[in-house]
Structure 1
């Protein structure tokens, strides 16, 4: 495992998530008027907070530590964490993930808990697999187990595989070979994933032609913003990565400027690029600007170190602290929601 890739992926996910969070659900045209450019945190007095995108990535990392390569054990540990995560009243949880969490509480087995949805939930937590798992077959099995826990539509799984392979490619190659990466994706998703591979080919061609990520999103009919449908999210996220594979700042800001599900899209891009550039490639002021507890930046670093080592004891968090934090987070989210009711429109 690569320590730099793991910590870069986790912190890259967190920073992208925190930067994109205030822009979530705002159209690409209105966002600059309402919030300004995504060059600094605008969530809470100039500071950033994370959402479910980073929380799921951290829960996956914790479960990977405890599973030590055992796919079934990983699924059970992640399912257990997801149950308690739902109970802590997270704001903005996706419908499919929420339903899967409730099914787990009702005693449904992890392999059967997924809801038929092609949402981007599995993709948002997939980059860490590519950053942390060396063996390709093992990585793919773990990605599938993570995806099927909440989403049973194969499209959600295929999108997650593409993201995981992108993070893996980013950490293993100094220069991105987009065609090599696409071949890996095509092999992994097979003929059933042909629609996704066609969209990813469009991403590659557009990036090679130096088209902006926003222009590419518009060409897919996403002028108002990138939706949570994984076949919208993943191709646009890949375009941002291919356009700026070693420039974290540009990659993340370019996808936030597309509007829509900005926290998730930026988290995905941040995780992929972060796996390639490490913590050193992420602006330090953005890392330092995250104000979180109990999943603090320092806690994420400890998590990364343990995942990169042979340690099988994952760092824990205080559930009471999580609940208190989530209530504060909900209040801030409500403030932003009411703010959007006012001009400019």
Structure 2
């Protein structure tokens, strides 16, 4: 990397990524509502506002509010997650139990380790919130990976769940760095960079497979999965394939996630957060930003925005 980031720049990059994540999440969630047709989005016809965001955005807001110089403060992040989470936002049953335990005072390492009968969660929760953290660390992919581990471990003790958070953090760091350097990556370059900083396992293997896919959206969704199992393994490689393919085109990236089906709010949140780290908030259609439910009022005060 050939640049120095100051705290204000880091926050601006993280907020751009959060904007993309939250719009992708909120718009993607509308396609779980009967009557909203994914094909309409290809013709730039979007559902009527207001687009409510889900747990993807709520957790990402908690993450952004915790960002600071130095190591990511896991205790503060856990406390914030436990304090503000709203179960109706779409949290899975396991996440609701864990966050209630944290809210009631159980230390997060114990709560995270106990999930899924002691296996820890390999769900996509750590990944869906991670892009702003990566954008904050655009000056160092290794540091983005390290902090991605720290942020993921608060709720995900399973190696694949952690790997998903790391992969998205590194992808957003790579995208933001490319923006700051004025460099347009070649196809597959983002995915290879992410794989190089992701621990061996199923997520890593999916990333390397994704880097070699040059076919259609349908082929990518079939080969990689599109979040239907709600695990990092079948969510992250596809979402980052979309981000790599449509890095300069935020609407196309979100539309690809929606048309592919699966866990569309989460894949669109991940891809949207990474793509916005590259395009900036200027790449997000103004009417889409206006249609998204406003972010929580406590975020501005907590993040110093």
* 8 Å CA contact 1:24, 1:261 repeated in 2: no
* 8 Å CA contact 2:123, 2:231 repeated in 1: yes
Give CA deviations for 1:62-102 in whole Å, capped at 9, x if unaligned. Answer: 0114xx3243xx1111111111123x443311233222212
Q: Which has the larger radius of gyration?
A: 1
Give CA deviations for 1:134-167 in whole Å, capped at 9, x if unaligned. Answer: 4445433332222111111110110111111111
For the residues of structure 1 that align with 2:192 and 2:49, how far apart are their CA atoms? 42
> 5 Å matches for 1:42-61?
42=47, 45-61=48-64
Residue of structure 1 equivalent to 2:211: 204
Residue of structure 2 equivalent to 1:176: 185
2:187 is the alignment partner of 1:188: no
Residue of structure 1 equivalent to 2:234: 232
Residue of structure 1 equivalent to 2:303: 314
For the residues of structure 2 that align with 1:137 and 1:242, how far apart are their CA atoms? 19
Residue of structure 1 equivalent to 2:108: 110
- RMSD of aligned C-alpha atoms? 2.7
Residue of structure 2 equivalent to 1:75: 74
Which of 4, 9, 19 pairs up with 1:11? 19
- Uncovered stretches (5+) of structure 1, i.e. residues with no partner: 304-312, 317-345
Higher relative contact order (CA 8 A, sep 6+): 1
- What is the Cα deviation at residue 131 of structure 1? 0.5
TM-score in terms of structure 1 length: 0.74
- What is the Cα deviation at residue 5 of structure 1? 2.8
Residue of structure 1 equivalent to 2:91: 93
Which of 218, 221, 231 pairs up with 2:222? 218
> 5 Å matches for 1:124-143?
124-133=128-137, 134-143=139-148
* 8 Å CA contact 1:7, 1:278 repeated in 2: no
- What is the Cα deviation at residue 122 of structure 1? 0.2
2:125 is the alignment partner of 1:121: yes
User: How many positions carry a matched residue from both structures?
Assistant: 285
* 8 Å CA contact 1:126, 1:163 repeated in 2: yes
- Uncovered stretches (5+) of structure 2, i.e. residues with no partner: none
* 8 Å CA contact 1:12, 1:274 repeated in 2: yes
TM-score in terms of structure 2 length: 0.83
- What is the Cα deviation at residue 59 of structure 1? 0.6
Query: What secondary structure does 2:97 align onto?
Result: helix
- What is the Cα deviation at residue 31 of structure 1? 6.5
- What is the Cα deviation at residue 8 of structure 1? 2.0
Give CA deviations for 1:164-189 in whole Å, capped at 9, x if unaligned. Answer: 11111111122225665445434433
